């Protein structure tokens, strides 16, 4: 028995002393392997008398269990230690910068964002989106819109022209999105509810004018559309677009060849510093032109003005973008200065929705 006790203490000491899994395995093989000391003791049981076997058997098996347990415990401890060492070795400086995602650096231009905002509002009101070419005929840009040839009203638009083609026709860059009205009326039967965003061009350049700019046209044609409805549409639009509960608008009589009565619309605001707030204040700011579609325009587009009636409006997308988001200079819109784009641009997934709010 003394031998067994000594063997036990020696073996357990060896297990404790094993510095790594290999050393521990050597101890295990030495004790419990095929040729191990304890295995040999177990093998010797068969040569013993039943009585002796009973006593020795319990003692040797007890030793085996103890050693097995100690081996397992030591193995777990060694594994934990090794894992710890591994983790320590794998540690990095987590303050180092990761690769930057495009979602962080990408930007949407304010014109796109505002166009998406307009679309969300007007589509909810039941409008479709119509488009037309930038290079237009004089007929669609002017004549069908009731601009008589050589009338001074044409001088209100500083028009870019192309050289006359073989047939003598001189095309132009559309000076407004109104020709899309004509295209829509010629292409589809009333009732019509469309908005037409797009690029427009006038030969003009200063702080508030660029030779290219963006407009959105609106057109409603049916049997009952009237000025009161136009007022409602524009007021609802302005509230939704500027995201304010209330706006005050002023409709002033004006003149456009393609509408009668014609109006310009001012919106009430307060200016302080570089900031403009809507729905309060003492100032009036002109934001759009509108009116009842002129009978001649309806006729030119094949509609009987005694049966069909409607209204139209046009407003500057760049202009309302500036008003809403506070860019001071129109020219910056087309400069692509990345500092400006980073600052005034929108994040890639800032998709305006009415459900989530236009500007988040």
Site for another protein in 275-314 (CB under 8 A): 292, 294-296, 305, 309
Contact (CB, 8 A) for 309 and 223: yes
Dump strand ranges (E) for 154-302: 172-173, 192-201, 212-222, 249-256, 259-272, 275-278, 283-293
Q: How far is the CB of 359 from another protein (least distance, A)?
A: 16
C-beta of 28 vs 193, nearer to another protein: 193
Q: How far is the CB of 18 from another protein (least distance, A)?
A: 39
**Region 236-275 residues binding another protein, contact defined as CB under 8 A:** 250-255, 257, 260-264
Nearby residues of 154 by Cβ (< 8 Å), 6 or more positions away: 142, 147
C-beta of 48 vs 123, nearer to another protein: 123
Contact (CB, 8 A) for 175 and 159: yes
Nearest CA to 157 out of 199, 211, 214, 197 is that of 211
**Region 121-180 residues binding another protein, contact defined as CB under 8 A:** 123-129, 131-135, 148-153, 155-156, 160-163, 165, 170-171, 173
C-alpha to C-alpha distance for 70 and 75, rounded to whole angstroms: 8
Strands 275-278 and 283-293: unpaired
- Interface characters, 93-132, with another protein (x: CB under 8 A): ---xx-xxxxxxxxxxx-xx---x--x---xxxxxxx-xx
C-alpha to C-alpha distance for 168 and 308, rounded to whole angstroms: 35
Q: How far is the CB of 119 from another protein (least distance, A)?
A: 8
Q: How far is the CB of 243 from another protein (least distance, A)?
A: 20
Q: How far is the CB of 233 from another protein (least distance, A)?
A: 5
C-alpha to C-alpha distance for 177 and 133, rounded to whole angstroms: 9
Report the residue from 94, 336, 355, 357 that binds another protein according to the rule CB under 8 A. Answer: 336
Q: How far is the CB of 83 from another protein (least distance, A)?
A: 26
Q: How far is the CB of 204 from another protein (least distance, A)?
A: 8
C-beta of 34 vs 99, nearer to another protein: 99
Binding of another protein at residue 1 (CB under 8 A)? no
- Interface characters, 201-230, with another protein (x: CB under 8 A): x-xxx-----xx-------x----xxxxx-
C-beta of 21 vs 139, nearer to another protein: 139
C-alpha to C-alpha distance for 28 and 186, rounded to whole angstroms: 95
**Region 184-203 residues binding another protein, contact defined as CB under 8 A:** 191, 193, 199, 201, 203
* Burial of residue 160 (number of CB atoms within 10 Å: 0-12, 13-18, 19+): middle
Binding of another protein at residue 11 (CB under 8 A)? no
Phi-psi region of 268 (alpha: psi -120 to 50; beta: other; left: phi over 0): beta
C-beta of 28 vs 157, nearer to another protein: 157
C-beta of 108 vs 285, nearer to another protein: 108
Q: How far is the CB of 357 from another protein (least distance, A)?
A: 18
Q: How far is CA 117 from CA 59, 103, 112, 220, 352, in A?
A: 86, 20, 9, 20, 6
C-beta of 36 vs 132, nearer to another protein: 132
**Region 42-81 residues binding another protein, contact defined as CB under 8 A:** none
Nearby residues of 50 by Cβ (< 8 Å), 6 or more positions away: none
C-beta of 57 vs 345, nearer to another protein: 345
Contact (CB, 8 A) for 37 and 9: no
């Amino acid at each position: 028995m003394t031998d067994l006790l000594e063997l036990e203490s020696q073996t357990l000491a060896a297990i404790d002393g094993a510095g790594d899994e290999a050393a521990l395995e050597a101890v295990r093989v030495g004790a419990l392997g095929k040729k191990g000391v304890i295995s040999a003791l177990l093998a010797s049981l068969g040569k013993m008398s039943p009585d002796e076997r009973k006593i020795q058997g319990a003692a040797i098996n007890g030793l085996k269990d103890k050693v097995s347990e100690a081996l397992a415990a030591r193995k777990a401890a060694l594994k934990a230690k090794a894992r710890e060492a591994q983790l320590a070795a794998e540690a990095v400086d987590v303050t180092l910068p990761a690769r930057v995602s495009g979602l962080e650096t990408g930007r949407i231009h304010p014109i796109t964002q505002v166009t998406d905002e307009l679309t969300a509002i007007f589509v909810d009101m039941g409008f479709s989106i119509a488009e037309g070419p930038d290079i237009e005929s004089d007929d669609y840009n002017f004549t069908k819109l009731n601009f008589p040839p050589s009338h001074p009203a044409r001088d209100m638009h500083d028009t870019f022209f192309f050289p006359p083609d073989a047939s003598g026709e001189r095309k132009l860059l559309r000076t407004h999105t109104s020709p899309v009205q004509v295209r829509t009326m010629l292409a589809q039967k009333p009732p019509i509810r469309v908005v037409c965003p797009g690029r427009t061009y006038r030969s003009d350049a200063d702080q508030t004018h660029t030779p290219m700019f963006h407009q959105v046209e609106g057109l409603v044609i049916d049997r009952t559309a009237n000025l009161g409805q136009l007022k409602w549409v524009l007021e609802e639009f302005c509230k939704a677009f500027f995201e304010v509960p209330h706006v005050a608008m002023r409709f002033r009589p004006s003149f456009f060849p393609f509408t009668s009565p014609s109006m310009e619309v001012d919106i009430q605001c307060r200016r302080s510093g570089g900031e403009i707030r809507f729905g309060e204040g003492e100032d009036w700011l002109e934001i759009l032109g509108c009116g009842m579609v002129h009978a001649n325009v309806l006729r030119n587009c094949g509609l009987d003005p005694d049966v069909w009636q409607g209204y139209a409006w046009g407003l500057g997308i760049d202009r309302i973008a500036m008003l809403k988001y506070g860019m001071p200079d129109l020219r910056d819109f087309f400069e692509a200065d990345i500092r400006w784009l980073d600052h005034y641009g929108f994040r890639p997934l800032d998709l305006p929705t009415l459900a989530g709010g236009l500007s988040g």
